[in-house]
Amino acid sequence: MLRVRPIVHSLELREQAKRCRRLARDSIDPALRESLLTLAVEYAARAASLEGPARKSKNPGADSDDQEAT
């Protein structure tokens, strides 16, 4: 089985969250937009849980640009 380091996986999750936010921003369907934004939040939360407290203390507000959709 392929082992993925948590930090690599967390970066992939953050990229997926960005994609969801970008798609939500470009969507004209309100239900789809809401679903994509929900997915983005979930991906970002999973990434943060993999990164642990080290990222939070090193980069406070690092996800501030992650809230760009709407």
Q: Where are the domains of the chain?
A: 6-52
Q: Compute the distance between CA of residue 11 and CA of residue 2 in angstroms, rounded to an integer.
A: 17
b/e per residue, 26-58, with b = 16+ CB within 10 A?
Answer: ebeeeeebeebbebbeebbebbbebbeeebeee
The answer to whether the pTM exceeds 0.75 is no
pLDDT in tens, the chain (70 residues): 555 576 778 999 999 999 999 999 999 999 999 999 999 999 999 999 988 765 554 444 445 444 554 4
